[in-house]
Structure 1
Amino acid sequence: MYIALIGTAFLLGSCDDFLNTMPDNRAEIDTEAKVTSILVSAYPNKTPVLMMEYSSDNVVDHGPQYSVNYKDQEEIYLWSDITSDGNDDPRYMWQTHYSAIAAANQAIQAIYDLGDPASLAPQKAEALMCRAYAHFVLANVFCLPYNPETADKDMGIPYSEKPETQVIVKYERGTMAELYEKINADIEAALPYISDDVYTVPKYHFNKKAAYAFATRFNLFYVKPDKSNYQKVVEYATQVLGSNPDRALRQMTNYIPLGAGDVTNAYVQASENCNLLIIPAYSAAGRIGSGSGPRYNHGREITTYETYWAKGPWGSSGSSSFLILGRKLYGSNQTVRFPKLDEFWEYTDKTSGTGFAHIVFVPFTTNETLLCRAEAYTFLEKYEEAAADLNSWQVTNCLSSYVDDDGMTHTLQTLTRESINKFWNDIKYCPIPSMADGGSDRTIKKELHPQGFTVASGEQENFIQCVLHMRRIETMHDGQRWCDIKRYGIEVAHNRYGLATDILKVGDLRRAIQLPSDVIDAGLAANPR
């Protein structure tokens, strides 16, 4: 099969003209300064957040009386092949991530052409990390989760490792085993040479902590039967968190006096120690949880029974509980959000009001890295260490005490191995399907069907349930919940007004979003349905 992997602007003229010119519009990268400059383009300016979030159990159908502003919202929610064509859709996701990969490959080739000097080792490491990251993102969108039992058969995506100099190039999808081996090789080659010293603003690049945070998440997903991946998760996460993780985490008490707009601005600041990598993107994902398109959205029923207002291991439930995130919600019954991800509008014509929607996205934070480590500790059966990490997340996300409407003072209790087990033993599994109407049958505990690994019943499952619940709250509106649903084979029910509830079963092939239609038309194998 032959396919042009990225949408580069080719300079096609007569045969002679073509043979005597470079086949695309790339400039020659012949100085160290130019190498550094091109790496700005090695970060994708689109994000799959919207696709992944609307695929997850963080949204419900509120009915046809509410608007659907974008066709892709409905197609994604219904797990249909996505035919719309915008910044948040498969075509642009594919194109922009492979364009970022092309920039990384061009930088790497230029470094070799310059003799691979030691002075450019940090730039080569950044390029390798960017290449690995873009492939990893695409894998999480367009592939089934990595499963060591089936990875040598499951379809991956093409791993691009060199600049293309031909218009038509033969690509094969390869397997998930091959894909993850190559991602891992790039990460491991890059980590020793990442340096913060080459950046003016390190958090807009794969600085040292961001690189180790990516390596942490990747190894959590890269399941090994001997559990060596979990050892790496602990090692790499500790590089990020240091000896006192409480100080490295987002201090939610600082957000209490802020309004919605100020929360948004504060949340994405490079000055926040917890923010490790910051990427601006063209996207309407800032409208998730907002009033734009309230038919399919994170509404009050999910908020009340499954996320922010549900009773958690910290205790009380509702809008006036320990959890600070639950006290800082905005919207309506159909659109509930904590305003960490909002829209920044770029006008191209102020008179007509046209322009581009942007978000500022934080793909790696210390909070999420901490929860990765807690998950790894759980599989290593280091429950005291896992409990300590889970308690650190609780302490920095909850009030230490509060006074209720009756004048009663409530004090936050330390999460311990015993209290985690007691809490989760008492929670019933959320039924499938769980209807949106009222939603009172919903719970925060989902049945797990891990893909290629096992979760022992009892204590180990209790800890994993705790990790997954905290991850769901922590990564709300980031799209990461979809990755956890895939990894753990969590069955998801999407209610549909006037139709039967659609249940995404464990083996449902729609867990891999379909490739862009033009990529399939060009010859790359489609995801089976």
Structure 2
Amino acid sequence: MRNLKITLSLLILISIYSCDDFLSEKPDNRTEIDTPEKIKELLVEAYPQMSYFEIAETMSDNVIDSGLPETLIRNEQNYNWEINTEATDIDTQAYYWDACYKAIAHANKALEAIEELGSPASLNPQKGEALIARAYSHFMLVSLWSKRYNPATATTDLGIPYVTKPEKELLVKYKRNTVAEVFDFIEKDIEEGLKYVTNDYKQPRFHFNVNASKAFASRFYLVKGNWDKVISLSDDLGSKPVGKLRNLASYESIGVEDQQLKYANSDAETNLLIVSANTIVSRVYHSNRFNLSGVNQPEIFGSATNLFRKPYYYNLYSSNGSTTLFVPKFYEYFKYSNVTAGIGDPYVAEVLLSNDEFFLNRIEAHVMKGEIVVANAELEYFTATRTPTYNPSRDILTEAMVVAKYPVIPDEFTPFYTMTAVQTSYVKAIAEARRRDFMHEGMRWFDIKRFNLVVTHATANKPVNKLEKDDNRRALQIPLHASNTGIELNPR
């Protein structure tokens, strides 16, 4: 039954009416999107249907040179913070850039169609979904292709083009907005969209439902440093979200494939937004040379990293001896276009937003508000859900334990805002919790940018490559096909 549920969800998403043909048509030849049903169909495509996981993960400090003799070209390029030269291949930087702007185009067309129908209240849920979806794709683009958000420099830092209208011509030249402008546009779309989003879907976890929208908004406001917003958005979770976080204990008695299926299952309470991505992410963590390895596993998953000094629930496996390791999260469904020739497309259900991230955002916001007692209780609760032998009468988290485990290292964590020594220790603890929970999902890269962490990547028989603070390579280079249309390149 578990196999059936996830496969059916994927089939629904990739076989439903697609508007890609509509977007590729000349504007004068396009079919009118003039009914609520057509708008709903259009919004199915308002989500990036490609994956950024491999890109962001490989740039982070989660991966090392495992020593495997071969790897994909993009794997090594991402590891060295270089532009992907195989620009049209699946899972490349350019592939994800295009996927985001395609999703934005669908959202914009839906918004235009709603307006042309007179913006009736009956279409407010679709309006809300389109606005949040548009904000999300732009947020992912600016997070990957621009410098980190810093209000002191955001008005001059290069952002990405923020597109708010459907294209009326096949070839349109766009200029880059500043990071400040992009963030202002995102915030406007989020605030307006939150007024209208709903849970009224047959499969709400494949749409920006209410909680998914709030979770995304909390991520945005965490980056922006608006702690009050993060906390208010997560009030429904509370300080003890019983039954709402990932139930890692339920993974202990099932096999690897079932764990992969379970991770992105729409029945999992923690999963707030799932997308069916055209990706081979389920394969690359088994075979990429630059990956999580048995060598660096202890510093991330070892019991010494647990605030209670106990083993975690996380299950790690190897498909090639003890060289590279993976956490089973991604189950590939291969949709054949020609069974005889073995031709088709791989799809993986990916969790883009979850209560686990939502709750960690809340804890960090409490820390930054100086509410250490509250944050401490929440961090203890979160850690307990990841610790099989947690004993509530003995495993009591204290500020002294957090400070001792995560001491302040001068000039290590340097966000745009200031932190006290105690805040720094707690933020480090939360960042490490986020690092473990979202292994393979690229989340660590966004913390590296946000906190301006230095990353060192060593490669056998080559000089060590070091990503210093404020290194220009923290912003991906604009894809070649985009820069060829006039979009300004990032400095190098």
The verdict on a shared fold, with TM-score over 0.5 as the criterion, is yes
Relative to the length of structure 1, the TM-score reads: 0.85
Q: Percent sequence identity over matched residues?
A: 34
Matched to 2:375, the amino acid is A
| Alignment partner of 1:302 out of 276, 296, 306 | 296
For the pair 1:236 / 2:240, whether they are aligned, the reply is no
2:5 corresponds to: none
1:489-528 counterparts in 2 under 5 A? Answer: 489-528=452-491
Deviates most, 335-344 or 477-486: 335-344
What aligned pairs does 1:436-475 form with structure 2 within 5 A after superposition? 448-457=412-421, 459-475=422-438
How far apart, CA to CA, are the structure 2 residues paired with 1:67 and 1:315?
39
Query: How big is the shift at 1:401?
Result: 5.1
Structure 2 unmatched runs, 5+: 1-20
CA RMSD across the alignment: 2.1
Counterpart residue number, 2:285: 289
Shift of 1:374: 1.0
| Deviation digits for residues 254-289 of structure 1 (CA, Å, limit 9, x no counterpart) | 111011111111111111110001101011222343
Structure 1 residues 78-93: aligned runs within 5 Å:
78-84=80-86, 85-93=88-96
| 1:222 and 2:212 matched | no
1:421 aligns with 2:415: no
Counterpart CA distance in 1 for 2:403 and 2:397 is 10
- Conserved 8 A contact 1:49-1:285: yes
Q: Is the 8 A contact 2:239 2:377 kept in 1?
A: no
Contact 1:495 1:502 in 2 (8 A): yes
Structure 1 counterpart of 2:247, one-letter code: Q
1:43-192, aligned counterparts within 5 Å? 43-63=47-67, 66-68=69-71, 70-84=72-86, 85-192=88-195
1:518 Cα deviation from its structure 2 partner = 0.9
The amino acid of 1:367's aligned partner reads D
Report if the CA contact (8 A) 1:252-1:398 is conserved: no
Amino acid across the alignment from 2:323: Q
Task: Look up the equivalent residue of 2:104 and give its one-letter code.
Answer: I
What residue in structure 1 maps to residue 326 of structure 2? 337
1:266 aligned to 2:285? no
Q: 1:400 aligns with which of 389, 397, 413?
A: 389
Do 1:30 and 1:114's aligned partners in 2 also have CA atoms closer than 8 Å?
yes
Q: Tell me the SS of whatever aligns to 1:193.
A: coil
Q: Does 1:255 align with 2:251?
A: yes
Match of 1:440 in 2: none
List gaps (5 residues or longer) in structure 1.
1-5, 12-21, 224-228, 403-409, 430-445
Q: How far 1:8 moved relative to its partner? A: 4.8
Aligned length: 470
What is the distance in 2 between the residues matched to 1:201 and 1:219?
27
CA contact (8 A) 1:491 1:506 kept: yes
For the structure 1 residues 40 and 134, does the alpha-carbon distance in structure 2 shift closer, same or farther, using more than 3 Å as the test?
same
Q: 2:241 aligns with which of 235, 238, 245?
A: 245
- TM-score scaled by length of structure 2: 0.91
Deviation at 1:94, TM superposition (A): 1.5
Q: Counterpart amino acid of 2:384?
A: V
> Counterpart of 2:195 in 1: which secondary structure?
helix
Shifted more, 391-400 versus 178-187: the winner is: 391-400
* Residue equivalent to 2:271: 275
SS in 2 for 1:493: strand
- Say if 1:401 and 1:112 are closer, same or farther in 2 by CA, change over 3 A: closer
Larger Rg: 1
Question: Shift of the alpha carbon at 1:48?
Answer: 1.1
Measure the CA separation in 2 of the matches of 1:145 and 1:90.
18
Within 2, Cα distance between the matches of 1:59 and 1:334?
A: 12
Larger CA deviation: 87-96 vs 344-353: 344-353
Is residue 379–residue 460 contact of structure 1 (8 Å, CA) maintained in 2? Answer: yes
AA paired with 1:515? Answer: I
**CA pair 412-497 structure 1, distance change in 2 beyond 3 A:** farther
Show the counterpart of 1:207. 209
